[in-house]
A and B are shown apart, each in its own frame.
Chain A
Amino acid sequence: MDFNLTTKEEAFRDEVRAFIGENLSPEARKDPGFLGGWLKKIREKRWVGFNWPEEYGGGGGGIMEQVILKEEMSKAGAPPLGLCMMGLQWVGPAIIQYGTDDQKKKFLPDILDSKYQWCTGYSEPGFGSDLASLQCKGVRDGDEYVVNGQKIWTSLAAWSDWIILLTRTDFDTEDKHEGITCLLVEMKSPGIEVRPIKNMSGSSHFAEVFFDNVRVPVQNRLGDEGKGWGVTISALAHERSGISEVAGLVGQLNDLVELAKRTRRNGRPASEQPSIRRRLAKADVVIEGMRLNGQRFLTKQLKGEPLSSETSINKLHRAFLAIELGDLALEIRGSASQYVKSDNGPGMEQNRLPSGALDWPNVVIGGGTPNIQRNIIAERILGLPKD
């Protein structure tokens, strides 16, 4: 057991800190060209996809360095390491694991360059939790698949250039997990229609996506025909582990603590109210628990074992925190929490915290609901009978 960094890892951390010191000063951030310049610089350092293979434009680094990089960047409030969120978090890793050499060459560098936005086409109107029953149809026709059907809740579909799509190419299998084929589809293909859906906090970040005789070249199939479920399981583990990254949560909790200190409730600082202190402390413990669970999973990965069902543990903690932190912000602010925009107080209070109370479905429902995570743990880890 050793939570210390090695000398080499420490040197890397110092390099990251020095880079942050040079490039993230408040003055630098004010520059209108800051974000573009930032992305270019981190790309040159190969810190985007730092643990991806070098031959496809990644940094060829270790998972541990990747973790250090993300932690330091997040502590410094740096912009993201690349803009292609889904591409970097799970589409890229799935292509690295299951893709052909041509696919790796074709897709990975563009993801790293934030050239294309990716979206994820799993859920359908009839099949959400029961994803493996999906019906969107793919039919092989010569060198192409012809896709017909519908996806829904597709995040960022309206802004995306590519979609990682699950289709059913075999309707006669006994096991519903068989016969699913994963395709990488260009969103501008003829026959695709995107209809944005407005959510309860007012934005339209997800959409319905319709497929009407969309033709997809066979070389854009990821993994073998009928074997798309394996691809999905691995991508979902990456998605859940990404959803459960703690660096951002630490920042949110610190913001809440500061808010509680300067907000008066019942005539005294909210931070002195026992119920609020307890809830803040409980959130602190769960976040630290997630961080340390993550380090145990990381140890497993460092030994070369893949991520799997254990990612459901932190997904459940993340779901708890999403709701809890949003509601805690409301309790701390009291009546003022009802104003969605207010002129007093810094930006954080105007938007982020109140909307937290309405944004939680992103991480609670997205990536699989808590009940589904409990089923996964009970059935795959504890070995209880399937329901």
Chain B
Amino acid sequence: MNFGLTEEQQMLSNVARRFLEERAPMSTVRDIMESPEAFDDKLWSAMAELGWPGLIVDEAYGGVDLGFVDLTVLLEETGRGLLPAPLISSSLAAAAISEFGSDAQKQRYLPSLADGSAIGTLAILEDSDFLGPDGIELTGAKEGDGYRLTGAKRFVHDVGVATIFIVPFRAAGDILFAVVQSSTKGVSSQSHPTMDQTKRMGDLTLDGVIVSKDDVLAGASDGAAALARLLDLATVAVTAEMIGAMDRALEMTTQYAKDRVQFGSPIGKYQGVKHPLAEMYVDVETSRSLLYYAAWCVSEKPEALPVAAARAKAYASDAFTRIGIDGVQLHGAIGFTAEYDVQLYLKRSKWALPAFGDAEFHYERIASLGGY
């Protein structure tokens, strides 16, 4: 039993932190988030040079061939720095193709996802905003050896920059996964202004899009199970960024509590301030324990992943909500200013809450998985 990072993982974490401090400090993050799609292609290329978009892609397809725990280590850092980049989305698209694609499909998509020249994302939710098989109503009409898709996906992360969409749809009662490229006829996307400007999302509209047999992920024979698996991976990835962000919000607020003097003492001397900070610490550490176990389950104990992922996201959602609010509140009025960074973490907590299931959604999953 060893619940710690390996030397390589520690190094990955250090390199990521240093890279982000140099290349994407908060001033840069703010510039990027003001841009139309909150995307900086130079920064993305630099990330690609480090191998990040292909971190969990097989070496045979141009990736770095690391695992989900390693990705989690990296995402903690990108979350910490509120990095606006489609890293989670593209990693998840790559994971979908890696797990459920044929060899030809992997050959076709993975190298470009791994080197960053393509950007992928999952396009799952529809108008119902319901995560799960029943939320997939988009129906494919038979067309030759493939399907014709007409409908819309909603709340698609990084929809404005993605070039490859993983689109679950229904055909003859089954759920299938189409790999749809942004350049295909009938595909259009529209991103909406978001509360957290570092995270963009929006609609993917499919207007008679033709999907050939080769565009349907071949290995997802049990569509509902494949969907559940993808949602679990997504849950872990999003939670990883949440924990990095929470940790940083705690760090900023702790520092502020040491520096800010009122009534003749640093405010961190008062229990009304120090106790919420202690609670934040308990929450960050406990979230982290739950997260890494879930990340480990991805490949080492897949049967335990659903409940492990649900526990991690449920706990982190409650925790981050509190940390976002307390982080601002404990700063006083300055925390409410646009100029001060802690508010960006509050906004991130709001973004993260519904992403791949809010606390209620995951508590309910825990209850049903637990047989009650």
Contact = CB atoms under 8 A, between A and B. Distances in A.
Contacts of B314: 281-282, 285
Contact of A299 (B1, B286, B370, B371): B1
B256 to A, nearest CB: 11
Interface string B247-279: 000000010011000000110111100110111
Interface in B275-317: 275, 277-279, 281-282, 285-287, 289-290, 292-293, 296, 300-301, 311, 314-315
Interface in B1-51: 1-6, 9
B contact patch SS: helix
B242 to A, nearest CB: 15
B68 to A, nearest CB: 11
Given A281-B367, A386-B269, A374 B275 contact: yes
B366 interface: yes
Nearest to A288: B311
Contacts of A9: 1
A378 B268 contact: yes
Nearest to A261: B372
B289 A371 contact: no
Given A257-B370, A282-B363, A384 B254 contact: yes
Contact of B1 (A64, A257, A385): A64
A172 interface: no
Contacts of B315: 285-286, 289
B285 A293 contact: yes
Contacts of A302: 1-2
Measured as residues with beta carbon below 8 angstroms from the partner, the interface class of chain A is 35 or more
B269 A387 contact: yes
A317 B287 CA distance: 13
B290 A292 contact: yes
Contacts of A2: 1-2, 296, 300
B258 A383 contact: yes
B127 interface: no
A79 B275 CA distance: 38
B69 interface: yes
Given A3-B300, A288-B290, A385-B258, A377 B269 contact: no
Given A277-B363, A285-B315, A381-B281, A371 B275 contact: yes
B280 to A, nearest CB: 9
A3, A284, A382, A383 interface centre (most CB from chain B within 10 Å): A382
Most buried by B among A286, A381, A385: A385
Please report whether the interface of chain A is mostly helix, strand, loop or mixed according to DSSP. Answer: helix
Contacts of A386: 269
A385 B366 contact: no
B5 A384 contact: no
A299 B311 contact: no
* Residue of B69, B285, B301 with most chain A CB atoms under a 10 A cut-off: B285
Given A64-B1, A261-B372, A281-B370, A293 B289 contact: yes
B129 interface: no
Nearest to B73: A1
Contacts of A290: 286
Contact of B289 (A4, A295, A316, A375): A295
Nearest to B269: A385
B360 interface: yes
Nearest to A258: B372
A281 B368 CA distance: 9
18 contacts: A257-B371, A280-B370, A281-B314, A281-B366, A284-B366, A288-B290, A289-B315, A292-B286, A292-B290, A296-B289, A299-B2, A302-B2, A316-B279, A378-B274, A384-B254, A384-B266, A384-B277, A387-B269
Given A292-B292, A371-B275, 18 more contacts: A1-B2, A1-B3, A2-B296, A9-B1, A260-B372, A261-B372, A278-B360, A278-B364, A280-B370, A280-B372, A292-B290, A373-B278, A374-B278, A375-B275, A378-B275, A378-B278, A385-B258, A385-B269
Interface of B: 1-6, 9, 69, 254, 257-258, 265-266, 268-271, 274-275, 277-279, 281-282, 285-287, 289-290, 292-293, 296, 300-301, 311, 314-315, 360, 363-364, 366-367, 370-372
